[in-house]
């Protein structure tokens, strides 16, 4: 505990890191405040009487509400959250595999990336118009501001909802540029964490009053949640280390190279993106049904988070997107080329094409169990609901919520740790005074 407190003190000793953390917290506070601002075109009192929050927190809509941090059920200006942007990003990345024009943009470096980001934003606006229209259709007519044309109010509400999501996008980009961690992922994580205390209290009350089992059953659920949390950390942190040998080089009287290192290949190189992508795809049918409560047939299967087809489709999409996203993020040809340039090779494997094929084979093998376990964790909340755990608390047993929490927290902590290690390294290269002051960083990590 003493080492942890010392690490916290060291974090705030670094001016740049302190400013980034405070900047991030400030933007997150703005996001949370905005999620409680109700649309100016509706009467919040009528929404409470209509029990709009209860209707908008059930089934698949409950997952959307969780991503939005409760803003969806409150009819907030941030009601649609960041998911429309995620959906647009999925479409653009899929087009990058199919359409030659998008493939060329991906290869053009920074300029191509800017064009793709611009296309993604335009597509986000299109998705927002569709989803906001469907969302507003569920608001009761007597909740609209009186004495004003309903068509004008709907038009104004679409503009407000669209602007709200675009503002969240801007907050996420600013956090990524000037804050700490990935902005979009942090915003999603904060929305999920905001629902955790309420879910815990609801589950505790349910066990003590209605469902039975008392504190003992509640503690069993907490222990099981902790075990799932640990397994998720192992999934995200698991790596396959490939030995790398560097050739010896003698320059003058000195010898360079000849060292043995490792190439770490992550079991889950795609992170939480496959499950976010799959969740967004499964939610698309809901966007074209105007969020109706009277669903049937094909769409009804996707409106039930505990149903077979909903979970089967989600699991299948997660496996597909895991391979797809891993192929994008891990470029075996580039890795093999870099190793060859630096005089490195895998023992027993020829440099160049053979090395790339070997890395690709290893990635395919370790991605399969990783994707299967990722899919299992994603559908775990459905099993928890079947066992009698409340919907709001069951979402934390797996799925997007748990993996985002674990992945984003670990990623943010790694960035903070890199600042500490970098400061420690700079201190060693400067003066003895800085070295002494920075020495505590490494000991406390």
- Single out the residue in 127, 150, 179 at which a domain terminates: 179
pLDDT at 399: 61
Q: Which of 80-84, 119-123, 316-320, 418-422 has the lowest mean pLDDT?
A: 418-422
Q: Cα angle at 245 between 240 and 249, to 5 degrees?
A: 155
Q: 339 in a domain, yes or no?
A: no
pLDDT at 59: 53
pLDDT at 57: 52
C-alpha span between 175 and 408 (Å, rounded): 13
Residues 88 and 149 in one domain: yes
Q: 22 in a domain, yes or no?
A: no
Residues 175 and 206 in one domain: no
Higher pLDDT pick, 441 / 86: 86
C-alpha span between 57 and 202 (Å, rounded): 14
Quick one: pLDDT band at residue 432, thresholds 50, 70, 90?
Answer: very low
pLDDT at 445: 26
Please give the average per-residue pLDDT across 249-259, as a whole number.
62
Q: 360 in a domain, yes or no?
A: no
Please give the average per-residue pLDDT across 158-186, as a whole number.
89
Mean pLDDT in the chain? Answer: 77
Please give the average per-residue pLDDT across 322-335, as a whole number.
83
Does the pLDDT value for residue 219 go beyond 90?
A: no
Residues 280 and 379 in one domain: yes
Greatest mean pLDDT among 278-287, 307-316, 366-375, 408-417 lies in: 366-375
**Token pair for 385:** 């609901």
Higher pLDDT pick, 21 / 249: 21
Percent of the chain with pLDDT over 90: 7
CB 69 within 8 A of CB 192: yes
Quick one: pLDDT band at residue 167, thresholds 50, 70, 90?
Answer: very high
Residues 94 and 238 in one domain: no
C-alpha span between 389 and 369 (Å, rounded): 28
Greatest mean pLDDT among 38-52, 149-163, 266-280, 406-420 lies in: 149-163
Residues 112 and 152 in one domain: yes
pLDDT at 92: 85
Note the maximum CA span of the chain. Answer: 90
What per-residue string of b and e applies to 377-413 under the rule 16 or more CB within 10 Å gives b? Answer: bbbbbbebbeeebbbbbbbbbbbbbbbbbbbbbebbe
Residues 323 and 432 in one domain: yes
Does the pLDDT value for residue 338 go beyond 50?
A: yes
C-alpha span between 81 and 165 (Å, rounded): 6
Task: Identify which of 61, 115, 23 has the alpha carbon closest to the alpha carbon of residue 303.
Answer: 61
Residues 315 and 438 in one domain: yes
Greatest mean pLDDT among 51-60, 256-265, 299-308, 427-436 lies in: 256-265
Q: 353 in a domain, yes or no?
A: no
Residues 119 and 242 in one domain: no
C-alpha span between 243 and 346 (Å, rounded): 6
Q: 361 in a domain, yes or no?
A: no
Quick one: pLDDT band at residue 166, thresholds 50, 70, 90?
Answer: very high
Percent of the chain with pLDDT over 70: 78
Instruction: Quote the domain boundaries for residue 158.
Output: 35-179
Strand-by-strand arrangement of the 260-266 sheet? 260-266, 239-246, 344-345
- Is the pTM value of this prediction over 0.85? no
Q: 343 in a domain, yes or no?
A: no
Residues 57 and 101 in one domain: yes
Q: 122 in a domain, yes or no?
A: yes
Domains contained in the chain, number: 2
C-alpha span between 373 and 379 (Å, rounded): 10
Does the pLDDT value for residue 337 go beyond 80?
A: yes
pLDDT at 225: 82
pLDDT at 431: 31
Residues 161 and 299 in one domain: no
What does R_g of the chain's alpha carbons equal in angstroms? Answer: 25
Q: Which of 246-250, 288-292, 435-439 has the lowest mean pLDDT?
A: 435-439
Residues 162 and 239 in one domain: no
Q: Which of 130-139, 255-264, 278-287, 315-324 has the lowest mean pLDDT?
A: 278-287
Q: 219 in a domain, yes or no?
A: yes
Q: Give the CATH number of the domain where residue 303 resides.
A: 1.10.3370.10
Residues 271 and 418 in one domain: yes
């Amino acid at each position: 505990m003493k080492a942890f407190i010392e690490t916290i003190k060291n974090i705030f000793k670094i001016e740049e890191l302190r400013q980034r953390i405070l900047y991030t917290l400030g933007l997150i506070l703005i996001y949370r405040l905005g999620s409680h601002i109700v649309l100016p075109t509706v009467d919040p009192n009528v929404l409470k009487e209509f029990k709009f929050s209860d209707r908008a927190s059930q089934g698949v809509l409950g997952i959307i509400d969780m991503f939005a941090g409760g803003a969806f059920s409150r009819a907030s200006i941030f009601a649609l959250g960041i998911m429309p942007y995620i959906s647009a990003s999925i479409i653009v990345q899929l087009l990058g595999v199919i359409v030659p024009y998008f493939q060329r943009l991906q290869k053009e470096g920074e300029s191509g990336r800017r064009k793709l980001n611009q296309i993604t934003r335009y597509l986000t606006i299109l998705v927002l118009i569709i989803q906001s229209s469907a969302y507003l259709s569920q608001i009761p007519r007597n909740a609209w501001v009186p004495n004003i044309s309903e068509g004008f109010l709907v038009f104004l509400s679409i503009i407000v909802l669209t602007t709200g999501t675009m503002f969240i996008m801007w907050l996420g980009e600013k956090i990524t540029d000037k804050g700490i961690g990935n902005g979009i992922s942090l915003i999603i994580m904060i929305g999920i964490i905001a629902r955790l205390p309420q879910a815990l209290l609801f589950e505790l009350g349910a066990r003590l009053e209605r469902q039975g089992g008392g504190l003992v059953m509640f503690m069993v659920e907490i222990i099981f949640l902790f075990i799932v949390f640990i397994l998720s950390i192992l999934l995200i942190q698991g790596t396959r280390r490939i030995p790398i040998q560097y050739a010896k080089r003698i320059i003058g009287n000195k010898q360079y190279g000849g060292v043995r290192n490792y190439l770490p290949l992550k079991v889950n190189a795609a992170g939480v993106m496959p499950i976010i992508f799959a969740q967004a795809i499964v939610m698309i049918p809901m966007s074209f049904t105007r969020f109706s409560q009277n669903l049937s047939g094909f769409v009804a299967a996707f409106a039930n988070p505990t149903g077979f087809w909903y979970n089967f489709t989600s699991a299948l999409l997660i496996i597909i997107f895991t391979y797809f996203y891993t192929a994008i993020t891990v470029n075996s040809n580039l890795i093999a080329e870099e190793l060859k340039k630096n005089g490195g090779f895998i023992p027993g494997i020829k440099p160049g094409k053979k090395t790339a094929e070997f890395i690709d084979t290893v990635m395919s093998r370790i991605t399969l169990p990783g994707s299967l376990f990722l899919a299992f964790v994603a559908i775990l909340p459905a099993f928890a609901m079947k066992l009698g755990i409340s919907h709001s608390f069951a979402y934390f047993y797996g799925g997007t919520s748990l993996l985002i929490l674990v992945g984003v927290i670990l990623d943010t902590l790694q960035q903070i740790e890199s600042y500490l290690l970098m400061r420690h390294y700079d201190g060693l290269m400067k003066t003895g005074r800085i070295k002494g002051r920075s020495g505590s960083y490494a000991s406390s990590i």
